[in-house]
Amino acid sequence: MKAMVLSSYAPVESSPLAYRDVPDPHPGPAQVRVRIHACAVCRTDLHVIEKELPPAKLPIIPGHQAVGVVDELGPGCKHLRLGQRVGIAWLGHTCGQCTYCARGQENLCEHSRYTGYHLDGGYAQYALVHEDFAYVLPETFSDIEVTPLLCAGIIGYRALQRSAVPAGGTLGVYGFGSSAHIVMQLAKHRGCKVYAVSRAASHQELARQLGAVWAGGTPQELPVKVDGAILFAPVGSLVPPALEKLEKGGTLAVAGIYVSEIPALDYQRHLFFEKCLCSVTANTREDGRALLAEAAAVPIRPHVTTYPLAQANEALQDMKADRINGTGVLVMP
């Protein structure tokens, strides 16, 4: 099969992914093989490739927002069938036995494994997934449309829940990339007013097109204080001003798997009046199922830019440089 393979960590500007022929994978017990149709690129892919996350498996095939059809069943499969359309997301394995798994917090499992990081992912014509971690997808969406929902959507959904914004409340979003443009549609469906901060003028314009009450370039320009906020940009220096722009009792949820250093906080200025600062760590499978159901009901309409699989380096470079409005999606040969 054709695949984009990372053999050594490097800046994406150096085009570190190689377009190669690699052996077709075959499923083990309770796994299925998926013939991939499309796979969205994600900022987490950047963090893996550029070694901003701790090193894991090399060589690795990145990608964790993959959509395709089941074309081979491993021994013992009980739930999926040949020809069924499924999605492969970031969470690829949990132990099911630790304290966290037992109390419904499998996103914190000490033995969790992730697609495109520990497990080969969707920048390829075929990928394997344990059938319990594959998502059956709503027919509402095309293959290309549904790819961003499998990470940008799921993580955005969890971040929105963690931000504790009430229905009809005000939400601030910092960074307006793939996840934020999906979350905004969810928040508006819940009756919220959304205020968007992004350094890119094109992203500000997309926010306005999607119904943002206001869009601007810095937190200091935000014209109101908000009930809750989500930091999508991996920029720690945005945390203090975002906390300042919270109403009393508001929560700032930090959605990134990686964030640069956060400056010192002043308790009175940034956290008093019961303001909360919380992180978002991966997701549970229930988050994924809930997001897909709500996205189909809205329905969410992701903005996508497509690239051939062989141009994955270019797609990642465009994402890093904020040249993509919405989500970049790789289409398989």
Domain CATH number, residue 21:
3.90.180.10
Q: What pLDDT sits at residue 266?
A: 97
First-to-final CA distance of the chain? 10
Range of the domain at 28: 2-148+283-331
What distance in Å separates the CA atoms of residue 202 and residue 207, rounded to the nearest whole number?
9
Provide the number of structural domains found in the chain.
2
Judgement on whether residues 159 and 272 belong to the same structural domain of the protein:
yes
Judgement on whether residues 144 and 6 belong to the same structural domain of the protein:
yes
Judgement on whether residues 164 and 127 belong to the same structural domain of the protein:
no
Q: What pLDDT sits at residue 4?
A: 98
Show the tokens assigned to 133: 């971690």
Judgement on whether residues 21 and 103 belong to the same structural domain of the protein:
yes
Give the ranges where the chain is alpha helix by DSSP (H).
43-49, 99-102, 143-146, 152-163, 178-189, 201-209, 239-244, 285-297, 312-320
Q: What pLDDT sits at residue 147?
A: 98
Judgement on whether residues 259 and 239 belong to the same structural domain of the protein:
yes
Structural contact between residues 318 and 178, judged by C-beta atoms closer than 8 angstroms: no
What distance in Å separates the CA atoms of residue 293 and residue 283, rounded to the nearest whole number?
16
Judgement on whether residues 327 and 299 belong to the same structural domain of the protein:
yes
Judgement on whether residues 14 and 74 belong to the same structural domain of the protein:
yes
Judgement on whether residues 217 and 261 belong to the same structural domain of the protein:
yes
Q: What pLDDT sits at residue 291?
A: 98
Q: What pLDDT sits at residue 28?
A: 98
Judgement on whether residues 321 and 234 belong to the same structural domain of the protein:
no
Indicate yes or no: pTM above 0.85: yes
Judgement on whether residues 40 and 169 belong to the same structural domain of the protein:
no
Judgement on whether residues 16 and 139 belong to the same structural domain of the protein:
yes
Nearest of 296, 210, 256, 200 to residue 42 by alpha carbon = 256
Residues of the chain with pLDDT under 50: none
